């Protein structure tokens, strides 16, 4: 019976066995999504516990990016009417990190809309990180685009915990989503990040018209990287982008994806990221009980989200801790 097989596979993951590719493909197609979700939650609680990791993002340089990612409101190629600013003043970013700490976030992630950080701006980001370390005392993560090995080492030396660089979608879908760089460019930065001992965070966006098989492809590609953290967004179609009219993905497909990510990566932080308030009626409660154990609070790069007060209440309501 299907539910017995899902339970058996969950037991095997809890026992330390890796899910075979054929089993991951089978899990991605099960009819009983409820049982899949329950067993993914069981793995989460047994392997990583009942703590939900809460992070805040700082969009430290907004919009006017040279790349053409079709989902992204920050590409200079699309007329999305969002505001634009260059690298924000140091004190603004340090204050945002302090606010994140006050809100109860365990980490603050500096995100910049660049293909790669220009050298002068990279130096400023390093100074800002030093200042956050000295005056705020919150874990710092970064997402600054493609990195050289030297830049990755600088971030490691500044005690940055994790570097985020998303694969965005399945390799087989990527050319439809972006033409200004390749999937392997992204993999290469993840290899550089890993080579210097920085924590790796990678993931993507679902709901961009990919098939379920392509979501499996993305999940297995991420698992092969063996990241500390997986961050998975759900598309919020942004006016002015090529995906502005993209049809919504079903909630059951979102739950299915997060559950399979948990089966594939039982020890990872699996973060439910942008789009949850838009795509999920419960803003994430169900997904935090289907494999995810982390969220972003207080909004995203170009869209708003639930407040930290609402999110902390949500986490308590489902019997978990932040
Ligand atoms: S996803 Fe990143 S690289 Fe792509 S356009 Fe947006 S900011 Fe630029």
pLDDT band at 3 (very low <50, low <70, confident <90, very high): very high
CA 146 – CA 188 distance, rounded (Å)? 9
Tell me the sheet residues that pair with 202. Answer: 230
Q: Whose CA is nearest to atom 7 of ligand 1?
A: 113
Spatial distance between the Cα atoms of 167 and 3, rounded to a whole number of angstroms: 32
What residues contact residue 27 under an 8 Å CB cut-off, 6+ apart? Answer: 6, 9, 19, 36, 259, 260, 263
pLDDT of residue 57: 95
Q: Band of the pLDDT at 69, cuts 50, 70, 90?
A: very high
* Cβ-based neighbour number of residue 86 at 10 Å: 12
Please give the average per-residue pLDDT across 17-24, as a whole number. Answer: 97
- Compute the distance between CA of residue 112 and CA of residue 149 in angstroms, rounded to an integer: 18
Looking from the CA of residue 68, the nearest atom of ligand 1 is: 5
pLDDT at 283: 95
Binned at pLDDT 50, 70 and 90, residue 306 comes out as very high
Band of residue 55 on the pLDDT scale cut at 50, 70, 90? very high
Task: Taking residues 287-292, report their average pLDDT.
Answer: 98
Distance CA 154, CA 12 (A): 40
Q: Looking at residues 195-220, what average pLDDT do you find? A: 98
- pLDDT confidence of residue 300: 94
Measured between alpha carbons, how far is 221 from 218 in angstroms, rounded to an integer? Answer: 5
pLDDT, residue 225, reads 97
Q: Cβ(261)–Cβ(230) under 8 Å?
A: yes
pLDDT of residue 305: 95
For residue 41, what is the enclosing H or E element?
helix 33-47
Sign of torsion over alpha carbons 19, 20, 21, 26:
negative
pLDDT in tens, 221-258: 999 999 999 999 999 999 999 999 999 999 999 999 99
Residue 169's closest CA among 199, 141, 209? 209
Share of the chain above pLDDT 70, in %: 100
Structural class in CATH, domain 25-317: alpha beta
Give 256 Cα–ligand 1 centroid separation in angstroms. Answer: 26
Packing angle between helix 21-28 and helix 251-264, nearest 10 degrees?
A: 160
C-alpha torsion 177→182→187→192, nearest 10: -130
- Residue pLDDT, tens place only, 117-163: 999 999 999 999 999 999 999 999 999 999 999 999 999 999 999 99
3-state secondary structure 238-298: CCCCCCCCCCCCCHHHHHHHHHHHHHHCCCCEEEECCCHHHHCCCCCCCHHHCCCCEEECC
Mean pLDDT of 183-209: 98
Mean pLDDT confidence for 262-279: 97
Angle at 321 between CA 320 and CA 322, to 5 degrees: 130
The secondary structure of 172-219 as a DSSP string is HHHHHH-SSS-HHHHHHHHHHHHHTTPEEEEEEEE-SS--HHHHHHHH
- Quote the pLDDT of residue 183: 98
Say what the pLDDT of residue 244 is.
Answer: 97
- Averaged pLDDT score across all residues of the chain: 97
From the CA of 222, how far away is ligand 1's center (Å)? 19
Return d(Cα 200, Cα 218) in angstroms, integer. Answer: 16
Please, which pLDDT band fits residue 307 given cuts at 50, 70 and 90? very high
Ligand 1 center to 161 CA (angstroms): 22
Q: What is the pLDDT of residue 261?
A: 98
- Contact between 228 and 199 under an 8 Å Cβ cutoff? The reply is yes
**CA 193 – CA 153 distance, rounded (Å):** 8
Please state the pTM of the whole predicted model.
0.96
Report the pLDDT averaged over residues 265-276: 97
What is the arithmetic mean of pLDDT over 307-311? 96
The band of 267, judged by pLDDT with boundaries at 50, 70 and 90, is very high
Q: Which residues line ligand 1 (CB under 6 A)?
A: 65, 67, 69, 72, 74-75, 113, 115
Q: How far is the CA of 87 from the centre of ligand 1 (A)?
A: 15
């Amino acid at each position: 019976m299907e539910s017995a097989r899902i339970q058996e596979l969950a037991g095997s993951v809890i026992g330390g066995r890796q899910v075979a590719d054929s089993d991951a493909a089978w899990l991605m197609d099960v009819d009983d999504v409820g049982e899949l979700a329950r067993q993914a939650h069981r793995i989460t609680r047994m392997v990583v516990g009942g703590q939900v990791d809460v992070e805040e993002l700082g969009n430290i340089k907004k919009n006017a990016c040279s790349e053409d990612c079709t989902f992204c409101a920050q590409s200079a190629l699309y007329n999305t009417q969002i505001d634009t600013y260059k690298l924000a003043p140091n004190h603004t970013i340090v204050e945002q990190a302090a606010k994140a700490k006050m809100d109860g976030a365990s980490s603050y992630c500096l995100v910049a809309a660049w293909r790669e950080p220009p050298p002068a701006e990279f130096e400023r980001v390093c100074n800002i990180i030093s200042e956050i370390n000295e005056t705020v005392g919150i874990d710092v993560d970064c997402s600054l685009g493609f990195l050289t090995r030297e830049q990755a080492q600088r971030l490691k030396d500044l005690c940055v915990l994790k570097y985020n660089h998303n694969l965005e979608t399945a390799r087989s879908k990527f050319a439809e989503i972006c033409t200004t760089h390749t999937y392997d460019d992204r993999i290469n930065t993840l290899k550089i990040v890993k080579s210097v001992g920085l924590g790796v965070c990678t993931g993507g966006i679902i709901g961009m018209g990919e098939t379920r098989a392509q979501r499996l492809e993305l999940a297995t590609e991420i698992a092969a990287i063996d990241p500390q953290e997986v961050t998975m967004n759900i598309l919020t179609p942004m006016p002015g982008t090529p995906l502005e009219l993209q049809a919504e993905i079903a909630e059951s497909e979102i739950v299915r994806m997060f559950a399979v990510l948990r089966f594939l990566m039982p020890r990872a932080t699996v973060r439910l990221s942008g789009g949850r308030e838009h795509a999920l009626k419960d803003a994430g409660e169900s997904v935090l009980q289907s494999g995810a154990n982390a969220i972003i609070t207080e909004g995203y790069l170009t869209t708003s989200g639930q407040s930290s007060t609402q999110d902390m209440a949500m986490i308590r309501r489902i019997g978990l801790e932040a």
